[in-house]
Amino acid sequence: MTSSMRDLKVYTTYPHSCSYLEDQEATTLFVDPRQQMDQKLYSNLSVLGFRRSGYLVYRPHCTHCEACIPARIPVASFSPNRGQRRTARRNGDLRVIDSEDIRDEDAFSLYRRYIEHRHADGDMYPPDREQYESFLNDAWNCTRYYRFYARAKLVGVAVVDELTDGLSAIYTFFDPDEARRSLGSYAILWQVEHARKLGLDYVYLGYWIRDCQKMAYKSEYRPLELYVNSRWTTLL
């Protein structure tokens, strides 16, 4: 299998309604699904601002909008703020287990409750098992599933891809009844520390969108690097 960027075929979608900004049209650039992919090529594409959904590797390619900006946390220089330190302490009782998959009913039930309570207005509602398994599949043998337990209770799952230079935070879902824990924030903090232990440089967060509340939170992690004009720049 080759990991070369040469002869890589990409395609664009027709304009469609934007999932993040009202009254906006979006166009998506995606890698040919027939492309042979491995961890190295996937990592190289991540450095260029690509993400994955299932086996589809894509990035926004809108004609009149540049609101979706790839973001990553530089592990070595990241310093949690006061609120993030409180979140870490609040979740110090959690036990984290690395599992091979999340096809069991316990994990899917948690995902279903999360979508129903937190994203009933999104395109993943109503949740179903086929969509769940295809969206969060093990991609090219580099996906890890980290389960967060409060004693014997599963309260969160972080789906993470291990790249050659960092971790890619694919998706996190958690118990909506545990809102006081701020489990989404804690999962990111945990991934930063885990990347540090693994000797990796970055945690890739996907796209930062200033005017979208669901995506703007990423700027709370400083310093944050943004991929603008084909280069990574630091947001201090």
| Residue 72 scores a pLDDT above 50 | yes
- pLDDT average, residue stretch 187-198: 98
Report the pLDDT value the prediction gives residue 122, as an integer from 0 to 100.
78
Report the pLDDT value the prediction gives residue 235, as an integer from 0 to 100.
87
- The answer as to whether 133 is a domain residue is yes
| Residue 206 scores a pLDDT above 50 | yes
- The answer as to whether 98 is a domain residue is yes
pLDDT band at 2 (very low <50, low <70, confident <90, very high): very low
Report the pLDDT value the prediction gives residue 47, as an integer from 0 to 100.
98
- The answer as to whether 163 is a domain residue is yes
- pLDDT average, residue stretch 212-222: 92
H-helix or E-strand spanning residue 86:
helix 82-90
- The answer as to whether 56 is a domain residue is no
- The answer as to whether 176 is a domain residue is yes
pTM of the model: 0.95
Task: Return contacts of 14-18, CB within 8 angstroms, 24+ apart.
Answer: 18/62, 18/65
Report the pLDDT value the prediction gives residue 4, as an integer from 0 to 100.
63
Name every residue whose Cβ is closer than 8 Å to that of residue 36 and which is 6 or more positions away in sequence.
Answer: 1, 2
The string of pLDDT tens digits covering residues 111-147 is 999 999 998 887 889 999 999 999 999 999 999 999 9
User: Which of 209, 210, 234 minimizes the C-alpha distance to 224?
Assistant: 234
Report the pLDDT value the prediction gives residue 1, as an integer from 0 to 100.
41
Name the token pair of 43. Answer: 């990592």
Give me the CATH number covering residue 123. Answer: 3.40.630.30
Q: For residue 218, give the DSSP letter.
A: G
Question: What is the overall mean pLDDT for the chain?
Answer: 95
- Tell me the percentage of the chain whose pLDDT exceeds 70: 98
Domain that holds residue 192: 76-203
pLDDT band at 216 (very low <50, low <70, confident <90, very high): confident
- The answer as to whether 228 is a domain residue is no
Tally of domains within the chain:
1
- The answer as to whether 185 is a domain residue is yes
Beta bridge partners of 95: 149
- The answer as to whether 130 is a domain residue is yes
